[in-house]
């Protein structure tokens, strides 16, 4: 009898195709950290409440602790390790360093991936006044859109500043 508790999945991780056999209950986070050695994404609450595990799946931000690996067969997954293009840092990474947008750093990988995904999103949020318009990324909009990513150290002011600088196209 065939073992139905495991499946073969193929995913593209940070541009590299990977074929792996996974337990059907394995999360994307556990696949990344435990099987593929990509420990940038952090396991915070393991309940999808803190955002420390945020990655980009097919360009959209997702809590990797809640995403089952088998459900993402064929997906393109980008982690904090894959944000930079080449040897240099991603503009968000540069801005986080320049604007002191982290303290202990535990939430930073999730914050960075979430911010990268947020910058490509369009449309109104819960705080957008004019629902017919594509709102500018004001600090209020950024705070709302990043609200799923918690920082126990309280570096929010600098996180918002770093994202604002990148969103405005300025130097990190």
Do you know the residue count of the chain? 172
**Type and span of the H or E element at 108:** helix 108-120
What does the alpha-carbon distance between residue 30 and residue 108 come to, in Å, rounded to a whole number? Answer: 18
Contacts of 29 (CB under 8 A, 6+ apart): 41, 43, 46, 53, 55, 64, 65, 67
pLDDT value at residue 81: 96
pLDDT in tens, 12-44: 999 999 999 999 999 999 999 999 999 999 999
What 3-state DSSP class applies to 152?
coil
pLDDT value at residue 1: 43
Which stretches of the chain are assigned E, i.e. beta strand?
A: 6-13, 16-23, 54-57, 60-63, 76-78
What does the alpha-carbon distance between residue 162 and residue 108 come to, in Å, rounded to a whole number? Answer: 12
pTM of the model: 0.93
Res 2 pLDDT > 70: no
Domains of the chain: 6-82 (3.10.20.30), 91-167 (1.10.150.120)
pLDDT in tens, 48-86: 999 999 999 999 999 999 999 999 999 999 999 999 988
pLDDT in tens, 89-139: 999 999 999 999 999 999 999 999 999 999 998 888 899 988 887 888 999
**Are the CB atoms for 32 and 24 separated by under 8 Å?**
no
């Amino acid at each position: 009898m065939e073992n139905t508790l495991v499946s073969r999945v193929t995913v593209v991780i940070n541009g590299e195709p990977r074929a792996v056999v996974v337990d059907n209950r394995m999360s994307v986070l556990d696949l990344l950290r435990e099987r593929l050695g990509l420990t940038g994404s952090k396991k915070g609450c393991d309940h999808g409440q803190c955002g420390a595990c945020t990655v980009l799946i097919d360009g959209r931000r997702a809590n990797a602790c809640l995403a089952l690996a088998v459900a993402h067969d064929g997906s393109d997954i980008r982690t904090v390790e894959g944000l930079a293009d080449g040897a240099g840092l991603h503009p968000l990474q540069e801005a986080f360093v320049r604007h002191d947008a982290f303290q202990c750093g535990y939430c930073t990988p999730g914050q960075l991936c979430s911010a990268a995904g947020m910058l490509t999103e369009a449309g109104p949020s819960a705080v957008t006044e004019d629902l017919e318009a594509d709102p500018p990324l004001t600090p209020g909009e950024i705070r709302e859109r990043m609200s799923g990513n918690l920082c126990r150290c309280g570096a929010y002011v600098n996180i918002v500043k770093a994202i604002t600088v990148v969103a405005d196209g300025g130097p990190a």
